[in-house]
């Protein structure tokens, strides 16, 4: 009977040792792998919300074009810079909401809303 107790104790020790997860500090990554698509307009940050449905927004005028595309993990700080949109992408104002801009990407419009 004593032997069964020792075998059970030994089994539990081995099982708990195998399930422990030790991580080396050098293996920890501090870099994010997913970035939010951002656009800076006059010092304010706008984030990509969705693709606009037909008739959802009325385009008023072309606001400008993206002047510079920066790296994806960098927050754009200059006017008309983006960490996602390519240089030359047209940006439009809309009638329905002054805190929404549309970016023309290929044949679709991507909605950019002002960050809270």
Kindly report the number of other CB atoms within 10 A of residue 61's CB atom: 8
Spell out the residues 6+ positions from residue 90 whose beta carbon is closer than 8 angstroms to its own.
62, 64, 65, 103, 104
Residue 111 has pLDDT above 80, yes or no: yes
Q: What is the pLDDT of residues 98-110, one digit of tens each?
A: 999 999 999 999 9
Q: State percent of the chain over pLDDT 90.
A: 68
Q: What is residue 27's predicted lDDT score, i.e. its pLDDT?
A: 46
Q: What is residue 81's predicted lDDT score, i.e. its pLDDT?
A: 98
Q: What is the pLDDT of residues 20-72, one digit of tens each?
A: 454 444 444 444 445 899 999 999 999 999 999 999 999 999 999 999 999 99
Q: What is the pLDDT of residues 78-105, one digit of tens each?
A: 999 999 999 999 999 999 999 999 999 9
12-41 burial, b at 16+ Cβ within 10 Å, e below that, comes to eeeeeeeeeeeeeeeeeeeeeeeeebbbbb
């Amino acid at each position: 009977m004593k032997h069964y107790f020792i075998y059970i104790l030994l089994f539990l020790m081995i099982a708990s040792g195998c399930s422990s997860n030790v991580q080396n500090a050098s293996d920890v990554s501090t870099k994010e792998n997913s970035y939010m698509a951002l656009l800076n307009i006059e010092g304010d940050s706008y984030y990509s919300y969705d693709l606009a449905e037909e008739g959802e927004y009325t385009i008023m005028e072309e606001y400008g074009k993206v002047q510079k595309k920066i790296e994806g993990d960098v927050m754009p700080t200059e006017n008309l810079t983006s960490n996602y949109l390519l240089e030359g992408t047209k940006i439009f104002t809309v009638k329905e909401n002054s805190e929404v801009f549309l970016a023309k990407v290929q044949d679709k419009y991507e909605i950019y809303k002002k960050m809270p």
